Every structure is written in C-alpha cells, then in structure tokens.
Structure 1
C-alpha cells in the first residue's frame, strides 16, 4: 500500500539544511541558559540539595515576573488604563498559582533529607528574599522591621525602601475610586504610605456602592474582584508555605532566626484588602 508518510530519517534529512544555527541567535543564547543552568552550587554532598536550590531559584524568577507585572499595573492604574491593569493583575494571580505548586514539589523532601543539608545553609533564609518583601509592600503589608534583613546591602535596601515609602496597589485603587466619584475619605488619598493599612467603614461603603451598581462602576467592580483574586491566591501561597515548612522541619526555628511555623501561622491572619472581604456580608 502506498503512503505519503515520511519515516523519521527522511524528515531529519529534509530538514537538515535548517539545523545549522552556528551563525544565529539560538534558544540557549536567547535565554542565557548557560548562566541559568550553571547557577546551582550545592554546598552539601546530599542529593536533595539540588531540589532545594532549584525550587527557590525558580520561585525567585516567578517573583521577578510578578514584580514586573505589579509595577506596570500600578503605573497603568495611576493613568486610569484599567483594561491593561486587569490583564496584568490576572497574570499575577496565575503566577501565584505556580508558586503554590512549587511548595508541593518541595514537600517531597522528608525531614531527614532536609536535616542532612540544613547545616550548610548557615543563616540564609527565604525570610531574606528582597523580592518577596517588595511584593508584600506593594500589596500593602508595610512593616518597618522588615527593612532590617536587607540592611547589609545598600542597593537592595534602597529598592525595598522605595516600595515601602510608596503607595501600595490598594492605595492606588482607592485613589482611582475617588477619581470615579466614589466617596473615599480624603485621609486615605494622601497619607503616610509607610503605615500599615487600617480598615475603614467609609472605604467599605465606597466599595459597596460600586458592588451594588456594577454597570455604573464596572471598572471599580472589576478591580475589586481582581484584587480579591490576588489575595485569595496569596493566602493559598502562604498556607502551602506554612504546611510545607511544618511537614519538613516541624516546629524548629527558621534558619534566618524567625520562630518558623509559629511566625508563618501568624502571617495567615494578615488581611490585605479588608473592605473587599467584609462587604460581601452586606451584599
């Protein structure tokens, strides 16, 4: 029986002229794979340290993208370009889902396996992640004490402090609401941005107006839901972090000096956008 199908050898031969990349930019050179794939330098003889390193390195890459999207969303929000903001915030939520799954992979490490490599970590800790700190500050969880872990690097401290002193994503959301004619209190439109956000009944009432009149305030309504999506995903990220740490090290102190699980459990109680959660009771 005759067939037009080519066997694999014929396909490779036919494409052979296209397989010489010696004078072109390649997949590896574009992605700088030599640097990325040679950036793992285990300090212990333990097999499982590669998992530990790669999980944290890939998480930092996802956080880099998250910050890229959040900063751009903040800028477009200031310019009332909400369609672009919605796209970027949706992407932030999806990135957080990837970070949740990263903890699932790390949870395959057993307590004895982690104990074998822990002495080699010294005081290095995810608590010192300056990208994570900027994400928290952009989401409004401001705390001056969280600048201290970065004081040993002037350049990093400057970057983190810049976000600490600037309006958060939620602060800019309230400013946008005011520009749309919603009654956001003036004290929430220009304040000391370094102070932790305090829930306010009048802010909740302003959100409630938008939620009860979505056609009139569609952009505000959608913005509220995108922010809720982000906090929902952020809570899951934190919870997976907590459960993975408890599963792997129990109640030992963290390598960075925190109380470990007890500290992470307290962080679960932090509410980033309180009015968006409370107004649901009134709808």
Structure 2
C-alpha cells in the first residue's frame, strides 16, 4: 500500500510566558500555559441578546473538540498503517469520549428558545456551522466526501489546500479496509474522492471477521468502529433536533435547506457494512 501523509492540526508555539507577538501573556503559569488571556477575549457577541454568548461559547467549544477528535482519528490511521491494532483501538476509544462530550454539548443549545435565537440570528449573516472547515475535515475522515464542498473555501488558500489534501487522502475506513486486505480478506481499500458507497465484498469480509476465531482482534476493531459510527449518528440526530427546536423549518443561515438536509444526513450510516452485516450473522 502506498504511504500517505496524514495532516494534523497546526499548533503555534511561543516562548514561555509570551504571546504570539512577544507580549506578556497571563498573570500565572497556568494562564500562560493555557493562553487564557487570549481565550477569554474570543467571545464577542454582536447583539445585546444574552443567549448569544451561550451560542458563541458552545460553538467555540465544539470547534476545539473537532480538532481533538481529528487528532485521535489521525492517530488511529497511523496505527492502522503500522498494523498496530492496540494503539488504533486506544485512539478510537479516546475519540468516542470526545464524541460523547460533543454530543452532550447540544444540551447547552437546547436551552435556546426560538424567540431568543430569532432575536440575534440576523447578526450571523450567512455564517453557518455548515461552513466549519474542521467539521468538514472530520466528515472526509469518515468517508463522507464531496469535492463540491471545497468551493466555499476558495477565499482561503491554506484551508482549501488542507481540505483538498484530506479529500484525496485515505479516509479512516479506507485504512481499515487496507488492513483487512493485508490480512487476506478480499476488499478494496483504494482511496476515493467521492462519498463511500457500500460494497457487498466488504460486508462479506466483516462477516468472516465476526465468525472466525482467528480474527478476534479485527472483530474488536469492528466494534470500536461501530461505537464511533453510532456516535456520529447521535451527533447528527442531536443537531437535527436542536435546529428543529430553535428555528423550526426555516432555511439555514448558510443557504442550506435546514431541517431537510439535517434529517437526510442523520439517516446515512457511517461504515455501512458494519451495520448491514448484522443481518447476516
């Protein structure tokens, strides 16, 4: 299998105690380490509606967790390429804890009433969570790829290049299938730039994995992947329910069809053969 480079979120480092421009950064070692002087200045509501602050903080927390989840899924990919199932499983399990926190974060937005959201919605303009490059990178990592989505990032060369690289690179599931192929199972792990489509050969491979005692380690991997996939579905369902509760069937701020699009996304299975094979066992 060809070697592929997996990018990870870029971190900016500054000398201890100094910010990116060399200024003093924080009053205590803890504040300097966590860059709290910067963190607590990033919440800038554009309206006088109290609920907007909760909306901003929740979405910023989600973005940070997207980065952490990407980190864990990327570590899982590296481990799979090294045939290190122990580390791959550990990374996937850490990722499920991140997903659990992400899913719980919708509870904060559930407190937002339609009147409150409508009151500050105009200040969002065309801004939409659908435009999150970090979230789109996660979607590409789980095989939900669509090249047309890159168009919205044409104004940022670095972001566009990063996502174009993720589009062309193997997804997490591609790396899993490549591992199955190396273990002698008849599957194709060739990366694609299109959304992953179910393959009967892959379902048959998973049936073999679940029924052959010699592949118990791969069955454990399958269950960890299913834990990941189930939490992706929960995220989509919570997103759908949250939008339905706060704004009903209005079109999305970014021009999407709102509820219609979210409902369709929630009905798409991630790693589909891991679900369909259950009917064959």
- TM-score, structure 2 normalization: 0.88
Unpaired runs of 5+ residues, structure 1, are 1-23
For 1:6, the equivalent position in structure 2 comes to: none
User: Which structure has the greater CA radius of gyration?
Assistant: 1
Which of 250, 253, 256 is the matching residue for 1:252? 250
Number of equivalences? 255
Structure 1 consecutive aligned stretches of length 4 or more whose deviation exceeds 3 Å: none
> Partners in 2 of 1:226 and 1:25 — Cα distance?
40
Contact 2:73 2:92 in 1 (8 A): yes
> Partners in 1 of 2:165 and 2:253 — Cα distance?
27
For 1:238, the equivalent position in structure 2 comes to: 236
Give the alignment's Cα RMSD to 1 decimal.
Answer: 1.3
For 2:200, the equivalent position in structure 1 comes to: 201
Superposition map of 1:32-51 within 5 A: 32-51=35-54
Contact 2:232 2:270 in 1 (8 A): no
1:89, CA displacement in angstroms?
0.4
> Partners in 2 of 1:121 and 1:111 — Cα distance?
15
For 2:124, the equivalent position in structure 1 comes to: 121
Which of 61, 82, 87 is the matching residue for 2:85? 82
Which of 221, 224, 228 is the matching residue for 1:223? 221
Unpaired runs of 5+ residues, structure 2, are 1-26
Which of 251, 262, 279 is the matching residue for 2:260? 262
- TM-score, structure 1 normalization: 0.87
For 1:189, the equivalent position in structure 2 comes to: 189
> Partners in 2 of 1:129 and 1:63 — Cα distance?
10
1:281, CA displacement in angstroms?
0.9
> Partners in 2 of 1:92 and 1:243 — Cα distance?
23
Give CA deviations for 1:190-240 in whole Å, capped at 9, x if unaligned: 35x102222111111111111001x31122111111110011001001100
> Partners in 2 of 1:120 and 1:196 — Cα distance?
34
